[in-house]
Amino acid sequence: MLIDMTHTITPDIPVYPGTPAPCLSPACTFTKDGFRETLLTFSSHTGTHMDAPAHLLPEGRTLDDMPMSQFSGRATVLDVSGEGPVITEAFLQSNYEAIHTADYILFYTGWEDRWGREDFLADAFPVPDEAAAKYLVSRGLKGVGTDAVSIDRLGDKRLPIHHILMKDSVLILENLCLKKVRGRKDFLFFALPMKFQNTDGAPVRAFAELREAFEAERRRR
């Protein structure tokens, strides 16, 4: 069974402060042209998206330069909705069994429920502190994700968590839909970014493959 973990891009979705809102306008119409095309205008960090190291690091790698294997792997969703504003190294260590086999660690903060509302950008969602970010790097992960707008505090323009992760080529995913996989461990995760030249970040189609659900359905048939 496949579970979509991606928000739909519309003109009124929330965006990171300072990022332009997306625009979807008719380029061709059935009436005028006999077919329909849509002109898409949006930032590379719009909607459910992936940050490449090149987003912040001048010599950082771009997504179009990475192998496809970097964009999929085993994932675990950690429910941090009750942890307060800071995800600590101690909390991560207490979830060692769930983390040590994962390629991707995804944080369910509960902010997905606020999507489309003004309080989605309230700067109170749980984020890792620097010690926790370094611990995540030490696990050799491919990526770290969140259902919130950022893996850093919005008010911290240094973006320390981004820098810690990106210096070790750990990909960052933001604005994920995690409610349907809340608390799940060791499932197959895919986050396929749009490919364009010098990709500093890109919208992704993120989804989970739950093989035990597929096998159960197959047996019922």
Q: Which residues are catalytic?
A: 55
Q: How far apart are the first and last CA of the chain?
A: 14
Contact of 132 with 165, CB cutoff 8 Å: no
Note every long-range contact of 17-20, with CB atoms under 8 Å and residues 24 or more positions apart, other chains counting. 17/121, 17/154, 19/43, 19/45, 19/46
What are phi and psi for residue 113, nearest 5 degrees? -65, -20
The span from the CA of 215 to the CA of 221, in Å, is 10
- Sign of the C-alpha dihedral computed for residues 221, 208, 78 and 181 taken in this order: negative
The span from the CA of 13 to the CA of 7, in Å, is 9
